[in-house]
């Protein structure tokens, strides 16, 4: 008995039909892996994660790329051998329909591949409450010590120091050398600006701003908001918003490029 041409054609069509579900899964895995690879290569991952958690992102990147390539190899071998086996993803209970979930994940990955993250600046600092020098640090260090010279302290070191001992006169005359972006605080005199930084404890979602007031030398124009400066001067006590605050006085201002890692930790 011989089979008819129509039945042979139908059998070949079934054997050669592409497993689209498996291909879409592979594409989704590869897109997410490539997105993490892009952020790693361009250094933008530092804008999204604390360095302590970088290894998790790197591990996820390797696993996603390996799973995506493995999936493609599996599909290719099955297609070339023409076994007719259907490659299906394991079904599981989910809140959203599978097609919607996959489409959403692919859309997010594509967005991550075309969007370039930017570091937070003064506008975000206002939204997240940079209104006071004191009481801004959310970290709870198990121990704290003032080691080294005062000019080696970062903005975060100064603010944490003030949290421990908030008397500004105790630091008068000490040398400060910090870098950050300029913020204009509403209500402050024109000769004062805030030199600010964001602090990351885990990821960009929990970043919060800290800063120190800077009293500009007489006749110095206010630097534009978001300008990155290195500020060197002497600590002094100034009254702002009716409160005595520690400020950097008689400063030397040097404009610097935006650092590769603009956050502090």
pLDDT recorded at residue 1? 43
> Of the spans 7-16, 98-107, 127-136, which averages the highest pLDDT?
98-107
pLDDT recorded at residue 101? 86
Instruction: Out of 94-103, 115-124, 170-179, 236-245, pick the least confident.
Output: 94-103
Q: Write out pLDDT tens, residues 169-186.
A: 999 999 999 999 999 998
CA distances from 214 to 97, 147, 162, 186, 197 (A): 55, 23, 16, 14, 14
pLDDT recorded at residue 15? 55
Averaged pLDDT for residues 205-227: 91
Give the contacts of 76 (CB within 8 A, at least 6 positions apart): none
Does the pLDDT of residue 148 top 80, yes or no? no
Q: For 95, how many CA atoms within 13 A lie in the half-sphere containing its CB?
A: 0
Q: How many residues does the chain have?
A: 265
pLDDT recorded at residue 5? 47
Does the pLDDT of residue 34 top 70, yes or no? yes
Enumerate the H helices of the chain as residue ranges. 5-16, 20-42, 54-81, 98-114, 122-127, 155-164
pLDDT band at 11 (very low <50, low <70, confident <90, very high): low
Between 203 and 87, residue with greater pLDDT: 203
Q: What is the DSSP letter of 264?
A: B
Does the pLDDT of residue 3 top 50, yes or no? no
> Of the spans 95-99, 132-136, 219-223, 229-233, which averages the highest pLDDT?
229-233
For the chain, counts of helices (H) and of strands (E) = 6, 5
pLDDT recorded at residue 86? 55
Of 174, 196, 184, nearest in space to 248 by CA:
174
Helix (H, G, I), strand (E, B) or coil at 218: coil
Between 78 and 66, residue with greater pLDDT: 66
Q: Write out pLDDT tens, residues 48-71.
A: 999 999 999 999 999 999 999 998
Find out whether 228 and 121 touch, Cβ atoms under 8 Å. Answer: no
pLDDT recorded at residue 138? 55
The strand pair at 192-199 and 208-215 is best described as antiparallel
Averaged pLDDT for residues 85-106: 73
Helix (H, G, I), strand (E, B) or coil at 40: helix
Q: What is the DSSP letter of 99?
A: H
Distance CA 96, CA 12 (A): 35
Of 47, 53, 60, 51, nearest in space to 260 by CA:
47
Q: For 1, how many CA atoms within 13 A lie in the half-sphere containing its CB?
A: 1
Find out whether 116 and 47 touch, Cβ atoms under 8 Å. Answer: no
**Residue corresponding to tokens 């800063």:** 211
């Amino acid at each position: 008995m011989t089979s008819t041409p129509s039945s042979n054609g139908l059998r070949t069509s079934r054997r050669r039909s592409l497993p689209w579900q498996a291909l879409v899964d592979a594409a989704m895995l590869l897109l997410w892996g490539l997105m993490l690879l892009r952020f790693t290569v361009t250094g933008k991952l530092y804008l999204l994660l604390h360095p302590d958690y970088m290894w998790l992102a790197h591990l996820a990147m390797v696993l996603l790329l390996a799973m995506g390539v493995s999936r493609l190899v599996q599909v290719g071998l099955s297609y070339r051998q023409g076994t007719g086996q259907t490659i299906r993803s394991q079904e599981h209970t989910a809140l959203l329909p599978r097609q919607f979930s996959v489409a959403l994940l692919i859309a997010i990955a594509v967005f991550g591949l075309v969007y370039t993250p930017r570091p937070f600046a003064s506008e975000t600092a206002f939204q997240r409450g940079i209104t006071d020098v004191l009481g801004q640090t959310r970290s709870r260090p198990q121990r704290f010590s003032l080691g080294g010279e005062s000019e080696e302290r970062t903005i975060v070191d100064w603010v944490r120091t003030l949290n421990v001992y908030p008397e500004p006169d105790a630091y008068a005359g000490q040398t400060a050398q910090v870098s950050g972006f300029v913020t204009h605080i509403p209500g402050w005199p024109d000769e004062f600006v805030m030199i600010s930084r964001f602090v990351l404890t885990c990821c960009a979602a929990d970043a919060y701003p800290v800063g120190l007031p800077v009293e500009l030398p007489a006749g110095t124009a206010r630097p534009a908001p978001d300008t990155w400066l290195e500020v060197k001067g002497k600590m002094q006590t100034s009254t702002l918003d009716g409160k005595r605050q520690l400020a950097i006085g008689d400063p030397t201002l040097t404009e610097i490029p935006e650092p590769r890692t603009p956050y502090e930790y």
